[in-house]
Amino acid sequence: MDLFLNLYSLLFLTSYISWIVFSRKENLQLTKLASAGMSISVLLIIIRIFMLQTDFGLILGAFVIFSFLSILTGMFLRSKELTMESTSYFLILLIIFCIRSFWYEPYQIPSRSMVPGLQVGDFVLVNKHSYGLKFPGYYFPLTEVVEPKRGDVAVFMPPHSLCKVKPEEARPDLASLTVSESQNFLMNFLSQQEKKCSKFGIKYVKRIIGLPGDHVEIKGYKIYVNGEQVISRLINNENGEIYYQDELGGKTFLSRRMNIKENESHEWHIPEDRYLAIGDNRDNSLDSRAWGYVSKEYLVGTADYVWMSWTSFSEFPSFKRNKRIK
């Protein structure tokens, strides 16, 4: 556990116990002070959680359990005020926890890897049940896993963002690569993992290009899935930015290119329970080309809707880009 997180949790627990003691003694001033301590410690805990990139669903779950125990404490102490306060928090937290963990979760786009469809600052709703329900934070399946489809805009934990994942798990076919290809992959993967990994991983959003058993090739900007080229039509070519309309898996979407990877070449024979994920912004995306396959175990859901855009704190949130994600 993180030292600061432990300290903030201890501050919250101390403030909570103090609140009970002072409220029973009907010391209004000290009760308010203890209540302020709880509010400050909760804020510090939330900030620390985001800094550590810990799964927020787990923390919500912990607060739900704590508020339920607080109800029992209030009943044991015969404190009507504590019981009523805890019950109100318990119901609110339980509803938020269930919605966020099993229905829809908000997620903000942090990079330009999915331009033009998704822009930096877009807030999307992630459908948490599209690939089956999982226990928050630990990816333990609660229902049967639903297979992704080609063309899905999926949210997942890439292998390099999880400290426990080894390069061989990210590329089970590593032994089939040439010596130079395998060495290059190992060097890049371990370097990225050292910079970005955490216990619970970091959510990425990319488009699913290949499914288990598929043979996928990328030659420049041409993508071949099982020998068939993905349909791609030029839409716009201005100021060095080129936009194409692609068709994959019955879905039509825009991709962006800058003609800086025309000589790029990749080939994959996708193993069981693995998926190939590529960003729509083909020249500015850290994806399967760099860190390997997406594991079925770490699928989170599909990005279904853009519901708000907020590019910086100096601007007001905008709802002009609200749309269903293709």
The residues annotated as belonging to the active site are 113, 206
CB-based burial label for 72 (10 Å; 0-12, 13-18, 19+): exposed
Nearest residue to 206 via CA among 323, 121, 284, 102: 284
What is the distance, to the nearest Å, from the Cα of residue 89 to the centroid of all Cα atoms in its chain?
Answer: 26
Which residue type sits at 299?
L
Nearest residue to 277 via CA among 230, 222, 207: 207
Those residues with Cβ within 8 angstroms of residue 297's Cβ, 6 or more apart along the chain or in another chain: 139, 273
CA dist 325 and 296 (Å) reads 22
Nearest residue to 223 via CA among 304, 279, 156: 279
